[in-house]
A = this chain, B = another copy of it.
Amino acid sequence: MFSKTCEYAIRAMIFIAQKSKDSSKVGIKEIAKGIDSPEHFIAKILQRLGGKGLVQSQKGPNGGFYLDKKHLACSLSRIVSVLDGDKIFTGCGLGLTECSESYPCPIHNQFKKVRKDMQQMLEKAKLNEFTEKLEQNLTFLKRK
């Protein structure tokens, strides 16, 4: 569904959101451990997201990644579209570049609905809404 890049990214962003609640920063090692991802890989992904302004960071001792109030309200769909593009939201299920209402592939209408539901779901999902359940150990960002 999503690329590995995107899966790690969402997990990392939710993790950073959790840690940013009390406006503290979190280092890349802790993030990598916290979401069980390759350290250098997630580092590069966060660089990309930082470049696009989705996450903030600070170098040097006591530095790290963080999210201010505004960025805590970032939606998952934003992360997906920045990293994977919006093919998943608007692309044809059968890979036709010209697929559209007026030139539909055979599953255009059915697929359109599923796509839209996915988009709306990710649109509604904001980074800061996951913190509480994580703290209560009702949801998880890494394997047991």
> Hey, which bits of chain A sit against chain B, CB under 8 A?
1-2, 4, 7-8, 10-11, 14, 76, 87-88, 91, 93-99, 103-108, 110-111, 113-114, 117-118, 121, 125, 130, 133-134, 138-144
Contact = CB atoms under 8 A, between A and B. Distances in A.
A95 B7 contact: yes
Given A111-B121, A114-B118, A143 B1 contact: no
Contacts of A113: 117, 121
A91 B106 CA distance: 26
B114 A110 contact: no
Contacts of A140: 96, 99, 103-106
- Residue in A4, A95, A111, A114 whose Cβ sees the most chain B Cβ within 10 Å: A95
